[in-house]
Amino acid sequence: MQDPDFAEIVGLICKEDPRFDRKAYDFIRLGLDHAVKELKKKDSARAGKSRHVSGPELLEGLRIYALEQFGPLAKTVLNSWGVKRCTDFGDIVFNLIEYNVFSKTDNDRREDFSDIYSFDDAFVKPFLPTKGRRGASSTETVGSA
pLDDT at 144 over 70: no
Rounded Cα distance between 95 and 77, Å, is 20
For residue 136, pLDDT over 60 is answered with no
Q: What is the pLDDT of residue 143?
A: 53
CA 27 to chain centre: 8
Query: Given a cut of 80, is residue 1 above it in pLDDT?
Result: no
pTM reported for the whole predicted model: 0.83
Q: Which of 45, 91, 46, 86 is nearest to 62 (CA)?
A: 86
pLDDT tens digits along 37-90: 888 887 765 555 667 899 999 999 999 999 999 999 999 999 999 999 999 999
